[in-house]
Every structure is written in structure tokens, then in C-alpha cells.
Amino acid sequence: MEIIPIPAFTDNYVWLIRSGQKAVVVDPGDAAPVRRYLARHDLEITGILITHHHGDHIGGIGELARPEIPVFGPADEEIAGVTHPVAGGDSVQMDAPRLFFEVMDVPGHTRGHIAYHGHGLVFCGDTLFNAGCGRIFEGTPQQLHASLQALAALPPETRVYCTHEYTLANLRFAEAAEPDNPARDRFAAEMQALRDAGEPTLPTDLATQRAINPFLRCDSPSVRATLALQDASDEAVFTALRDWKNRF
């Protein structure tokens, strides 16, 4: 099984899961780059996975889907073209490529946002980013904090496939939020080198995110000192971080 990032728009990635000549696509906001890749490599789409309803994640469904192709998406969101609504506790299984994912509810960015976990990886849409997290559009800080904690509880080696190339901007905020994090500084240099070479900074993994992502480090004394919230709950620290990032 191979997982390929297909760039779309200015900073999106459509993930393509390939085995042989069969492929599943994740969050195809734009059909055109996906169709070009499929044609170039003589691939056939056998399924589509959707994490949430925003247009840059669903805009290509209509052009890519066919009656025989299952389109999985969040049951709590109305998305045209979804044939198999799923929610936390459900599973997704396909034969070609041979895939099995458990569905996780990860609301906050949107009301019904879901993630797909299996094969040592997670497709998490706009909930968890490399060194950051999604904005809160429909949910609450409490929901997004709980969703991030659920993702962080997965095994540390879990590879994280999110859908935006926001890493360098996120790392600038992470440096402001937690100034004394040498692991983050080393990671930032590695990520800058990747971008300088025209390479994506994804996927990442949960062990790395636990070490460098301030939104997963609400218990860090340095983060708490920056916010002057040494005695606050982790949830309160997260809420303050997310509000600051909105204005950063």
C-alpha cells in the first residue's frame, strides 16, 4: 500500500491510497489534480473517504464518484454524494485496496468531523495539523480539545495524514507559545529544509506531535507560563491557545 499526497488549491493535500491499479482518495476538494494523477498512472478509484463538509474537502466528489463507488462521510453532516454515512464506532472496509478503518468522532472544527484510523495511520482532516490544530467553526473549544486528546491517545508511532500544508506557520506560533522547546526547534529546521526542497511536511507522527505541538502540550510549564495560566485546567489553556492562534 502506498499513500500519495496530491496538491490541490494553494495548500491542500488530497491523499490517494494506492495498491496495484486500485485507489481510494481522501478529501478530494478538487477533482482535476486527482484525475490527472489517475490518468498518468492508469489507476481506478474504488472508494472515497470524507472527513468533513468544507468545500475544499468535498468539491471533487461529484466529478470523481460513480454509482459503484462507495463514498464514506460523516453521518452528522449533510454532504451531497455521500453514500455511506458513518460515525464514531463504525468501521470502513474495502477490498481493493484492502483497507479497514475505524471511524472516530473528532468534532470541533466542524460539528460532525470524523477521522479514519487503521493500518498504523490516521486521516484526521482539519482536526490535528502538523504543529497545530484546526480552527473552531461549528464546535466548541471543549470539543476540539477532547478530539485532540482522543487522537493523541492513539499509539505514538501512528502516522498523521492531515490535509493542509500549514506546518511552517504553525511552528512560528509554537515557538511563541513554548519558547524553550529544543525538540521543536530541531524539528522546525527539518521542516524548513523539506519546504525549501519543495517537499511536503506530511505525514508526521503522534510521538513527534506530542513533543512539539503546543495544542497537545497544554500541561507544559512553558506553555502555561507564556499564557500566565499556571494553575488553569488543560482545557482552559487550550482555549486560550486557540484564541491566541486565531489572532496570531
Choose the catalytic residue: 27, 30, 53, 56: 56
**What pLDDT shows up at residue 106?**
98
Domain that holds residue 74: 2-247
Q: Please give the tally of structural domains in the chain.
A: 1
What confidence tens digit (pLDDT) does each residue in 50-86 have?
A: 999 999 999 999 999 999 999 999 999 999 999 999 9
Q: Please give the average per-residue pLDDT across 96-117, as a whole number.
A: 98
C-alpha to C-alpha distance for 213 and 229, rounded to whole angstroms: 18
User: Among residues 53, 113, 145, 164, which one is catalytic?
Assistant: 164
Please enumerate, as own/partner, the contacts of 52-56 that have beta carbons within 8 Å and a separation of 24 or more.
52/77, 52/109, 52/110, 52/112, 52/113, 52/114, 52/125, 52/126, 53/77, 53/78, 53/79, 53/110, 53/112, 54/29, 54/110, 54/126, 55/29, 56/8, 56/9, 56/12, 56/29, 56/30
Residue 126 appears among annotated catalytic residues: yes
Task: Please confirm, yes or no, whether 117 is among the known catalytic residues.
Answer: no
Q: What is the pLDDT of residue 219?
A: 97
**pLDDT for position 188:** 98
- Domain CATH code at residue 99: 3.60.15.10
Q: What is the pTM of this model?
A: 0.97
- Rounded to whole angstroms, how far apart are CA atoms 44 and 50? 18
